[in-house]
């Protein structure tokens, strides 16, 4: 699904061009941990992008790594500059960013790096998943049924169990909502990229699903509106990418997967397979999520977003398989069957990897400690209230030791950051997303945990 280029020159160019792209004004840094109201301001970090080794593509092991975070943030910005975002409060103070985000030069700069970044981010799927043999309809249906039943089987929701068991279930549930916001506040834009064109009765069947998603043209019934009501009811922000810094790499990657699968139209069957599998499992998943939110937030939470999915996706699951997937397989033959199954298997694999990433983030409870006297000193950085904020994924267990001042450790978008005073330290486990800021002059030593 990508163009071929000479690897050596390609990676050299990719480094230069990805850094150039990340330096565009709309991707500038900020000292704040949240991005209020401005859908175009999506901080990238040119210095970290410059360090990204593009010659080592992601795989299952690195799907939730820092390299994945950087690459998927870049890709997300490239993809989303093709979709229209307008600030809820109006454009008046964001006109420059509006122009910059959609400027032809900016989009061209993104398009130049997109194919190689896609190969970097998703190339491993061709090695991880394979489909072979002659499939008949009964076998295809049996395989789909088994896959859906397995996804909905008892014990298949360790993240939900972890939210209930968390020290602060509200913070844990907030982390779950943030990951959903990537899709929920953008009206499933990533999944709606194949509505155009002319592909027969199946195009109309696909539209039926999206007609429900878009609330039949009634704004209060739109699924993204229901998601905003969910956020509001628990005191969370409702604007797109307010939580930019707190999306886990695996969450962005799954959203990007749908952009990738639909960007090149030969990925259509892969897209339908992945979408149909999700639609077929959503009803049960959202039904269980409603119970989690009720347990955590009580009666105050507005669960209509979940309730709507728990109901309508019973229909969407059936429609996506009986009226889309199977008819496409019948009509278009082995190429379609292979693509459809590829999508079904890929989304399950990515969902497993993302589930493990989210579970690890939810169950991480950072604790203060004294730095070991003989521990490695690490790199010392100076922070103050104007320092650029960023989040990153720890490549290995990392000790943050405050030499002077006070550091604020962010590990989730909801709840208060952990205050780490002078002389104390905290260990960030390998693979965990975190960000550090300071309200005053602070010295921080960062190094491997002994």
Partner 1 sequence: MKGRKGAKAPAQPRVRAEFSRSAHNALVAGDDLYFVMERDKAVHVISSSCPHRGGPLHLGDVDGDRLRCPWHGGLFPVGRLCDRSHPSVRVGDTVTVYLPAGEHDPVPVHTMVRAGVDAA
* Contact in structure between 190 and 79 (CB atoms under 8 Å): yes
For position 323 contacting partner 1 by CB under 8 A, the verdict is no
CB neighbour burial string for 72-97, b if at least 16 within 10 angstroms, e if fewer: bbbbbbbbbbebebebeeeeeebeeb
Q: Give the one residue of 134, 197, 218, 374 binding partner 1; rule: CB under 8 A.
A: 134
Q: Residue 280 CB, nearest distance to partner 1 (Å)?
A: 16
How many residues touch partner 1 (CB under 8 A)? 28
Applying the rule CB under 8 A, the residues between 109 and 128 that interact with partner 1 are: 127-128
Q: Residue 52 CB, nearest distance to partner 1 (Å)?
A: 25
Specify the stretch interacting with partner 1 by CB under 8 A; choose among 13-21, 140-148, 241-249, 371-379. 140-148
Nearer to partner 1, 35 or 320 (CB): 320
Specify the stretch interacting with partner 1 by CB under 8 A; choose among 138-146, 200-208, 278-286, 406-414. 138-146
Q: Residue 2 CB, nearest distance to partner 1 (Å)?
A: 18
Q: Residue 60 CB, nearest distance to partner 1 (Å)?
A: 7
Q: Are strands 424-428 and 433-438 parallel, antiparallel or unpaired?
A: unpaired
Q: Give the one residue of 131, 221, 359, 360 binding partner 1; rule: CB under 8 A.
A: 131
Q: Give the one residue of 8, 138, 299, 374 binding partner 1; rule: CB under 8 A.
A: 138
Tell me the C-alpha distance between 57 and 115, whole Å.
Answer: 13
Q: Are strands 442-448 and 398-404 parallel, antiparallel or unpaired?
A: antiparallel
Nearer to partner 1, 17 or 59 (CB): 59
Q: What are phi and psi of 385, to 5 degrees?
A: -65, -15
Q: Residue 317 CB, nearest distance to partner 1 (Å)?
A: 20
Applying the rule CB under 8 A, the residues between 19 and 78 that interact with partner 1 are: 60
Q: Are strands 433-438 and 379-383 parallel, antiparallel or unpaired?
A: unpaired
Q: Give the one residue of 341, 426, 438, 445 binding partner 1; rule: CB under 8 A.
A: 341
Q: Residue 137 CB, nearest distance to partner 1 (Å)?
A: 5
Specify the stretch interacting with partner 1 by CB under 8 A; choose among 41-49, 166-174, 252-260, 340-348. 340-348
The neighbour count for residue 36, using CB atoms within 10 Å, is 11
Beta bridge partners of 425: 369, 401
The neighbour count for residue 422, using CB atoms within 10 Å, is 13
Nearer to partner 1, 306 or 354 (CB): 354
* Contact in structure between 425 and 402 (CB atoms under 8 Å): yes
Beta bridge partners of 109: none
In sequence order, what are the residues at sequence separation of 6 or more whose Cβ sits closer than 8 angstroms to the Cβ of residue 60? 124, 128, 349, 353
Work out the burial of residue 118: count CB atoms within 10 Å of its CB; fewer than 13 is exposed, 13-18 middle, 19 or more buried.
Answer: buried
Instruction: Calculate Rg over the CA atoms of the chain.
Output: 22
Q: Give the one residue of 348, 361, 411, 414 binding partner 1; rule: CB under 8 A.
A: 348
Nearer to partner 1, 61 or 299 (CB): 61
- State the greatest distance between any 2 C-alpha atoms of the chain, in Å, as a whole number: 70
> Residue 52 is encoded by which pair of tokens?
């990204």
Tell me the C-alpha distance between 279 and 320, whole Å.
Answer: 7
Nearer to partner 1, 110 or 343 (CB): 343
Q: Residue 243 CB, nearest distance to partner 1 (Å)?
A: 31
Nearer to partner 1, 90 or 130 (CB): 130
Nearer to partner 1, 125 or 190 (CB): 125
Q: Give the one residue of 132, 155, 219, 386 binding partner 1; rule: CB under 8 A.
A: 132
For position 349 contacting partner 1 by CB under 8 A, the verdict is yes
Q: Give the one residue of 111, 136, 365, 370 binding partner 1; rule: CB under 8 A.
A: 136
CA 268 to chain centre: 21
Q: Give the one residue of 12, 130, 200, 440 binding partner 1; rule: CB under 8 A.
A: 130
For position 4 contacting partner 1 by CB under 8 A, the verdict is no
Q: Could you write out the DSSP letters of every residue in 201-212?
A: HHHHHHHHHHHH
Q: Give the one residue of 23, 56, 164, 330 binding partner 1; rule: CB under 8 A.
A: 330
Alpha helices (H) along 239-325: 249-263, 268-297, 304-318
| Site residues, partner 1 (CB under 8 A) | 60, 127-140, 142-143, 146, 329-330, 333-334, 336-337, 341, 345, 348-349
């Amino acid at each position: 699904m990508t163009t071929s280029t000479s690897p050596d020159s390609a990676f050299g160019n990719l480094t230069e061009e990805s850094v150039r792209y990340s330096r565009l004004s709309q991707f500038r840094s900020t000292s704040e941990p949240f991005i209020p109201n401005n859908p175009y301001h999506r901080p990238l970090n040119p210095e970290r992008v410059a360090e990204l080794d593009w010659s080592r593509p992601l795989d299952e092991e690195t799907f939730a790594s820092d390299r994945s975070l950087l690459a998927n943030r870049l890709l997300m910005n490239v993809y989303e500059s093709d979709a229209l975002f307008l600030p809820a409060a109006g454009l008046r103070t964001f006109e420059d960013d509006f122009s910059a985000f959609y400027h032809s030069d900016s989009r061209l700069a993104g398009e130049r790096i997109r194919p190689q970044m896609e190969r970097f981010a998703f190339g491993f799927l061709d090695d991880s998943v394979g489909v072979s043999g002659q499939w008949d309809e009964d076998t295809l249906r049996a395989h789909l049924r088994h896959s859906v039943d397995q996804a909905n089987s008892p014990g298949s929701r360790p993240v939900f169990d972890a939210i209930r068991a968390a020290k602060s279930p509200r913070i844990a549930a907030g982390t779950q909502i943030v990951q959903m916001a990537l899709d929920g506040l953008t009206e499933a834009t990533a999944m709606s990229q194949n509505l155009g064109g002319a592909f027969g009765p199946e195009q109309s069947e696909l539209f039926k699903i999206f007609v429900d998603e878009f609330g039949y043209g009634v704004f209060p019934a739109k699924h993204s509106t229901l998601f905003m009501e969910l956020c509001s009811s628990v005191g969370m922000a409702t604007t797109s990418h307010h939580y930019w810094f707190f999306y886990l790499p695996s969450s962005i990657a799954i959203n990007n997967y749908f952009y990738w699968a639909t960007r090149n139209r030969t990925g259509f069957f892969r897209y339908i397979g992945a979408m149909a599998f999700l639609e077929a499992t959503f009803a049960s998943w959202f039904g269980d999520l409603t119970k989690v939110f009720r347990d955590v937030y009580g009666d105050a939470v507005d669960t209509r977003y979940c309730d709507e999915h728990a109901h309508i996706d019973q229909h969407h699951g059936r429609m996506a398989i009986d009226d889309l997937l199977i008819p496409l397989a019948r009509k278009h033959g082995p190429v379609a069957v292979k693509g459809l199954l590829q999508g079904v298997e890929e989304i399950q694999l990515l969902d497993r990897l993302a589930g493990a990433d989210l579970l690890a983030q939810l169950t991480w409870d950072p604790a203060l400690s004294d730095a070991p006297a003989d521990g490695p000193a690490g790199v010392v950085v100076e922070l103050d209230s104007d320092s650029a904020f960023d989040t990153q994924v720890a490549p290995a267990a990392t000790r943050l030791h405050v030499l002077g001042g006070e550091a604020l450790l962010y590990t989730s978008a909801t709840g208060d950051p952990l205050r780490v005073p002078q002389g104390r330290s905290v260990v960030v486990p390998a693979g965990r997303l975190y960000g550090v800021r300071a309200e005053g002059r602070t010295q921080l030593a960062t190094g491997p945990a002994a």
